[in-house]
Structure 1
């Protein structure tokens, strides 16, 4: 897939809750595939998540391209766990923290 096609795809920002209660934030252009990779503890699973399954997806939102998703991911990763939980519960809106939609 060319870079131009990747930029035109829908990208997803997601937050996962691990079995130990910690939170993990990431982006992908295929939410189902990426969640399955993380959940399966496969070699494609993020290192942080290895051994922390089962995982629960507590939040996800879409962006029109990878650049916007990356910018939002950086801002979400700077949030505290409490702020991420507010985002997941709908009490904090991504537009309030990221100028990205």
Structure 2
């Protein structure tokens, strides 16, 4: 399973990504050097939204689509 996810950073900003293991990726964002450069200085991050997909290509397409949304649209998506 592959996932597109949104995390909320300690400063309130949102970060969108994709992974094939949510738990491992969240740990990387919060602890490791393998987390996104953007989130390294904004720890801790918490998972606020995710969607599951069969293929990584689907997850990557959805990540791109979410990144095109405004902050307000992302917040509305998270309320669904």
Could you say whether these structures have the same fold, taking a TM-score greater than 0.5 normalized by the shorter chain as the test?
yes
Superposition RMSD in Å = 0.7
- Residue 22 of structure 1: how far off its partner (Å): 0.6
TM-score for both structures, normalised by structure 1: 0.77
Please give the residue correspondences for 1:1-101 in structure 2 after superposition, counting only pairs within 5 Å.
10-40=1-31, 42-90=32-80
TM norm structure 2: 0.96
Take 1:17 and 1:43, find their aligned partners in 2: how far apart are those partners? 18
| Regions of 4+ moved over 4 Å | none
Q: Which has the higher contact order (CA 8 A, sep 6+)?
A: 2
